[in-house]
Amino acid sequence: MNYIIPFLILITIVVFIHEYGHYYFAKKFGVGVTDFSIGFGKEIFGWNDKSGTRWKICWLPLGGYVKFFGDRNVFSQAEQQEIINKYNEEDRKKLFILKPLYQRSIIVAAGPLANFVLAIIIFTVINMVAGKDLTPAVVSEVLKDSPAYNAGMKKNDKIVSVDNKKVESILEISTFINTSSSEIIEFVVLRNDQELSFKIKPNLIDSKDAFGNSVKKKVIGIKLSPAGNEFQKQPLAPSKAIYYSFKEVWFVSVTSLNYLGQMLTGSADTSQLGGPVRIAKITGQVAEYGVIPFLSIMAYISVSLGLVNLFPIPMLDGGHLLFYLIEKIMGRPLSQKTQEGFFRIGLFLLFSLMFFVTFNDLKELGLF
């Protein structure tokens, strides 16, 4: 229960924000909304608002949907003429499919966008309240015969960038190293007011994260420690807090896309890809450290959800945006039959991914 409850809270908020993005712009453009669901399957409880929308919570809490008036599912499309013949003039005004292309595109894109906005707001609040660590990354020890030692890195070198990413905190070094998609990583250090560049190939080792979970870790053989063993964490002004929030969301997005690229080329460690079980476990572990860490993991999950939904895969928001791009180019929407064919492909891909990450989760639990 220590894992399940924090996970349910996190996933409910993140999914609600995503679906509310769709809902908000649908209502703004006059689209009828019949259902707003958090979860799938049988309804646990719900209520109807004055506009006729059924707000409900369902048993399977791994997603949600907004159902539009006249649609068989969230964003299904039928042939234009069939729609026109089926509904009267008043009802046609509420149909999603008959809205201008730009409005449909905004409604679909609003879900992922809402997730990015949520993450930016969370990071901004954290930066303003808890503060951001700005401790310089100064090397306190270089292990003999390590990759860093052999490259020429020395004690008291101040690391200023890793793979062209500016280092602003000692806490960023491990993150930058382990999220790098390069086999050889470039480090720029400041030594006696002179900048030096080192190209270092990290060692890959089996390790444990802060919660005891097994991970593959890249190490170069250095130790970092703040001066006086005190971290320089300070609350930021609103403008700086927002700047660093955008920067963090961008970093997470780019890093995730790089990892996806590595997966497609077969060079990524796919054992680190987890599903709901692993997310629930990590969420529960992080929640034990307090509200700020819990909000941080919520922001990261929100970015991931928004990003994944933008992938051009049928069944996802990105797939529908791809359909709209094709519609713009062709001057007409794809036929219902063609779309259903693509939806089947998208469903197969999503189920395959779900099977894979679930296998990884069960493997980590020692069931395989």
What pLDDT does residue 338 have? 81
Report the C-alpha gap between 130 and 11 in whole angstroms.
23
Residue from 347, 346, 309 nearest 18 by CA: 309
Residue 340 to residues 77, 139, 163: CA-CA distances in angstroms? 9, 57, 43
What pLDDT does residue 211 have? 59
Is residue 309 within 8 Å of 316, Cβ to Cβ? yes
- Tell me what percent of the chain is helix, strand and coil, each rounded to the nearest 5: 50, 20, 30
- State the sign of the Cα–Cα–Cα–Cα dihedral 286, 288, 293, 296: positive
Transcribe 234-262 into DSSP letters: E---HHHHHHHHHHHHHHHHHHHHHHHHH
Six token digits for residue 18: 């995503």
* Residue indicated by tokens 């009802």: 91
Report the C-alpha gap between 37 and 16 in whole angstroms.
8
User: What domains are defined for the chain?
Assistant: 4-129+303-364 (no CATH), 132-234 (2.30.42.10)
H/E stretch holding 95:
none
Catalytic residue among 19, 82, 141, 340: 19
What pLDDT does residue 197 have? 95
Contacts of 60 (CB under 8 A, 6+ apart): 39, 40, 41
What pLDDT does residue 353 have? 73
Say how many Å lie between the first and final Cα of the chain, rounded: 23
What pLDDT does residue 69 have? 85
Mean pLDDT by 10 residues, the chain (368 residues): 83 95 96 94 93 93 87 50 74 86 95 97 95 91 94 94 92 89 92 93 80 77 81 89 95 87 71 68 82 93 93 88 90 78 81 72 56
Is 82 assigned a catalytic role?
Answer: no
